[in-house]
């Protein structure tokens, strides 16, 4: 585990390695988003039952979080910064070819691409690919049965705080079409990574992770290159690696809370496999290794310390705009009867799922942020959840039986591939021409 001095040096090296992007940023003064004052309102302040002071008392971890809140993706950003030289399309094509065939076959591959692929190819000491595959197999049940209904609700949970949501607003996601595209790309990424062998070097999940990294880096490059678009004194670095945690570890965090609530301090073998999958997925996305804990106590501790130091403010122009655009986005164009039924169920399910999971069932707060619930939403959610639980339980029972378990898993894999086809081709790109300042 690197010490604070090593992390601080890496953070500040961004100004030397990429002066055009980071040269004007003051890395020594924490941005407004970082809040370690006792009376500051943070994301953890919104969570009932959490004692923020206990997390702030861990000064070593707080200092670690403070530094990581200013860390982008050094290798990914360096590659994305080549846009003026190579053009957007060429960078994407070279990355795809490097993922599919190996960087050595890419004609004229720049050193920055070689470095990015080498970084992703590096096998961390802690990695157990056998566990990753077991975790992917264990996650396929929920990915096939729950995720299609819950993905929109989980996606909008990242929009509740302007300090972390602003980059998404700037990239044009306030429009319904772009919001739908981002939801589908998020669903595509997580679905792809649970397919058999997906996270191996030449697997589709490895490539998807590389594409997501490039997309995030392109956002940083485009935002930081345009005068007046970004206030680093307030927001720090656009999409710091620390902000990969909510998307990459949400289910693992909730699972860890549940484990601790049951009085356990260790995971079952199946739970541990799911954790290894999530850890490696986040590693490929660039999340620092020392933030990827493998036990429930540390997972909750790191997550909550990030929340305890991330200033909270709900801005309707930023957060509300993203929420409304995403909730109103049309995710499917299937006009068949089953397609129309699914769309209706998904809309109600995602709304209730969001309110129950991320707002602790507070319907008044939900209405204030633009996600009101009515009796029909609740009834459809209950009916859909009953059907989902029946399907997941059936697959879980089947998975424990000889022969039938493999048949059931193949059925899930087939369903996941059909879902991916329904989501359409995920480009994992960002169009700078559509960037717009998000003002309150």
In this predicted model, what pLDDT tens digit does every residue of 378-410 receive, in sequence order? 999 999 999 999 999 999 999 889 889 999 999
Asked if 135 contacts 276 with a C-beta cutoff of 8 angstroms, the reply is yes
- Residue 364: exposure state from Cβ atoms within 10 A (0-12, 13-18, ≥19): exposed
Tell me the CA distances in angstroms from 346 to 322, 384, 385, one per residue in order. Answer: 18, 9, 11
- Cα dihedral 153, 256, 395, 204, rounded to 10, equals 70
Find, among 162, 218, 238, 34, the residue nearest to 438 by Cα: 162
Residues 6+ apart with CB under 8 A from 40: 311
Q: Residues in the chain with pLDDT < 70?
A: 172-174, 176, 427-440
pLDDT value, residue 9: 97
Domain-located, residue 353: yes
Domain-located, residue 429: yes
Helix 59-68 vs helix 4-17: crossing angle, to nearest 10: 10
Q: What would the two tokens of residue 219 be? A: 């956002």
pLDDT value, residue 153: 86
Domain-located, residue 25: no
What is the residue range of 238's domain?
4-15+44-434
In this predicted model, what pLDDT tens digit does every residue of 144-159 receive, in sequence order? 999 999 988 888 777 8
pLDDT value, residue 436: 59
Find, among 153, 199, 98, the residue nearest to 385 by Cα: 153
DSSP secondary structure, 104-160, as one string: GGSTT--HHHHHHHHHHH---TT--HHHHHHHHHHHHHHHHHTHHHHHHHHHHGGGS
Rounded CA separation 306/61 (Å): 9
* 3-state per-residue secondary structure call for 15-65: HHHCHHHHCCCCCCCCCCCECCCCCCCECHHHCCCCCHHHHHCCHHHHHHH
Helix H segments across 226-370? 232-235, 245-261, 269-285, 296-309, 321-328, 337-358, 363-368
Domain-located, residue 31: no
Cα end-to-end span (Å), the chain: 40
Domain-located, residue 71: yes
Asked if 363 contacts 378 with a C-beta cutoff of 8 angstroms, the reply is no
Residue 164: enclosing H or E segment and its boundaries?
A: helix 162-170
Residues 6+ apart with CB under 8 A from 351: 153, 327, 366, 371, 373, 377, 381
Residues 6+ apart with CB under 8 A from 217: 72, 73, 76, 77, 79, 80
Tally of residues, the chain? 440
pLDDT value, residue 440: 42
Domain-located, residue 36: no
User: How many structural domains compose the chain?
Assistant: 1
Domain-located, residue 259: yes
Domain-located, residue 30: no
CA 346 to chain centre: 21
């Amino acid at each position: 585990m690197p010490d604070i001095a090593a992390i601080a040096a890496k953070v500040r090296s961004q100004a030397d390695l990429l002066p055009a992007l980071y040269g004007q940023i003051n890395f020594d003064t924490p941005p407004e988003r970082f809040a370690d004052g006792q009376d500051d309102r943070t994301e953890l302040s919104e969570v009932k039952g959490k004692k923020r002071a206990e997390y702030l008392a861990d000064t070593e971890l707080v200092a670690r979080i403070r530094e990581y809140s200013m860390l982008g993706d050094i290798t990914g950003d360096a590659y994305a910064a080549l846009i003026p030289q190579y053009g957007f399309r060429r960078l994407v094509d070279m990355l795809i070819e490097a993922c599919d065939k190996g960087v050595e076959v890419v004609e004229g591959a720049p050193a920055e691409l070689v470095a990015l692929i080498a970084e992703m190819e590096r096998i961390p000491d802690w990695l157990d690919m056998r566990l990753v595959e077991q975790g992917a197999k264990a996650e396929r049940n929920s990915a096939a049965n729950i995720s299609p209904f819950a993905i929109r609700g989980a996606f909008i949970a990242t929009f509740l705080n302007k300090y972390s949501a602003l980059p998404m607003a700037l990239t044009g996601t306030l429009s319904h079409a772009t919001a739908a595209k981002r939801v589908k790309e998020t669903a595509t990424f997580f679905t792809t990574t649970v397919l058999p062998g997906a996270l191996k070097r030449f697997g589709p999940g490895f490539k998807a992770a590389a594409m997501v990294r490039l997309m995030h880096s392109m956002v940083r490059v485009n935002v930081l290159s345009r005068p007046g678009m970004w206030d680093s004194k307030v927001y720090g670095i656009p999409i710091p690696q620390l902000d990969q945690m909510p998307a990459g570890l949400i289910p693992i965090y909730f699972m860890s809370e549940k484990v601790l609530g049951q009085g356990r301090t260790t995971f079952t073998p199946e739970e541990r496999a799911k954790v290894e999958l999530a850890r490696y997925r986040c590693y490929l996305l660039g999340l620092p290794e020392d933030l990827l804990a493998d036990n429930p106590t540390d997972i909750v501790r790191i997550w909550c310390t990030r929340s305890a130091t991330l200033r909270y403010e709900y801005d309707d122009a930023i957060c509300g705009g993203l929420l409304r655009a995403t909730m109103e986005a049309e995710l499917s164009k299937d006009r068949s009867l089953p397609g129309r039924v699914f769309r209706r169920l998904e809309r109600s399910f995602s709304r209730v799922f969001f309110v129950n999971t991320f707002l602790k069932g507070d319907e008044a707060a939900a209405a204030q942020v633009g996600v009101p619930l009515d009796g029909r939403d609740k009834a459809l959610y209950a009916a859909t959840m009953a059907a989902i639980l029946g399907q997941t339980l059936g697959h879980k029972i089947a998975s424990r039986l000889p022969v039938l378990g493999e048949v059931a898993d193949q059925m899930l894999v087939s369903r996941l591939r059909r879902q991916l086809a329904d989501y359409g081709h995920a480009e994992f790109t960002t169009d700078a021409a559509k960037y717009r300042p998000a003002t309150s």
